[in-house]
Amino acid sequence: MQALIDLFTVTETVSVIELGTDLVLSALLSGLVYLAFLQFGDTISSRRQFGRIFFLVAVCTTLIIAVIKSSIALSLGLVGALSIVRFRAAIKEPEELAYLFLCVAIGLGFGAGLRIVTLFGSLVILVILVLRGLISPKRLNEAYNFNVSGKFSLGQVTEILRPSTRELRLRRSDSGPDKVSMMFAAEFRSLARMEAAIAELRALDPEAVVSFISNSALI
């Protein structure tokens, strides 16, 4: 009975220097993950805004694991706390979740004191991400969800939009009896070029409906 009590009460002294080292390493590695996500990510949402949480996720995970690894009682308490708190993160694309898992893995590794394994594994993954980004086609940096609806064809719309954009991807197309609705992911060269493209579309069909959602600030 006493042994069971000791199992739940024995704790280890956490070295402040070691904890500080792990936190700094987590912050540095999560910064590299953020730069890789910013440069080579393929998501439509604002990568700059979403990537800012990588640092917080990695560092917090490191601190949590460093605290609870010395006590089974604290580990069980964490399980109970997580069953009460519900996390509802707005994950729009699977790639965002993959980068979050990488930051959590960094935090888990450093929190558990496995510095060499965590450094090696994280750097290997980052190198793979960079190589994949260099080999793959250029990605959208500042994309708009650009929606067009009117009496024109897909070819006419792409001919108007392509000269005004650095990158143009068709995401969805719906055809009706009178009009066609299309949704693009578009990276425009400038606001002036976007306004000129909208004017051309409305000259082609005065009743055309054009809307767009910016994933970053317009100005």
As for how many domains the chain has, the answer is 2
Structure tokens that stand for 139 in this block: 């990605």
Identify the domain boundary among 82, 109, 135.
Answer: 135
Classified as helix, coil or strand, 71 is coil
Give residue 11's pLDDT. Answer: 46
CATH of the domain at 160: 3.30.70.2690
Instruction: Give the E-state strand segments of 50-164 in sequence order.
Output: 144-150
Give residue 171's pLDDT. Answer: 81
d(C-alpha 41, C-alpha 46), whole Å: 10
Show pLDDT as tens, one digit a residue, over the chain (219 residues).
Answer: 444 444 444 445 567 888 888 899 999 999 999 988 888 776 656 677 778 889 898 998 888 888 777 665 555 555 555 554 555 555 566 788 888 889 989 988 888 888 899 999 999 999 998 888 788 655 544 567 788 888 888 888 888 888 888 888 888 888 877 788 888 888 888 788 888 888 888 888 888 888 877 655 444
The whole-angstrom distance between residue 49's C-alpha and the CA centroid of its chain comes to 8
Angle at 213 between CA 165 and CA 38, to 5 degrees: 70
Residues 205 and 103 reside in one and the same domain: no
Is-contact 145 172, C-beta < 8 A? no
Give the side-chain half-sphere CA count within 13 A for 96: 16
Sheet with 209-214: list strands edge to edge: 165-175, 180-188, 144-150, 209-214
Residues 168 and 122 reside in one and the same domain: no
Give residue 9's pLDDT. Answer: 45
Residues 126 and 174 reside in one and the same domain: no
Structure tokens that stand for 195 in this block: 């306004």
Residues 106 and 46 reside in one and the same domain: yes
Q: Which domain holds residue 189?
A: 144-214
To the nearest 10 degrees (0 to 180), the angle between helices 154-161 and 191-204 is: 150
Residues 53 and 112 reside in one and the same domain: yes
Residues 77 and 8 reside in one and the same domain: yes
Residues 160 and 67 reside in one and the same domain: no
The residues pairing with 183 across neighbouring beta strands, listed in sequence order, are 147, 172
Residues 117 and 184 reside in one and the same domain: no
Give residue 143's pLDDT. Answer: 63
26 occurs within a structural domain: yes
219 occurs within a structural domain: no
Residues 103 and 175 reside in one and the same domain: no
Residues 15 and 102 reside in one and the same domain: yes
Residues 108 and 162 reside in one and the same domain: no
| Amino acid identity at 56 | L
Distances 51 to 17, 39, 79, 202, 214 between C-alpha atoms, Å: 28, 11, 27, 37, 17
Instruction: Give the E-state strand segments of 17-154 in sequence order.
Output: 144-150
Structure tokens that stand for 170 in this block: 């068709």
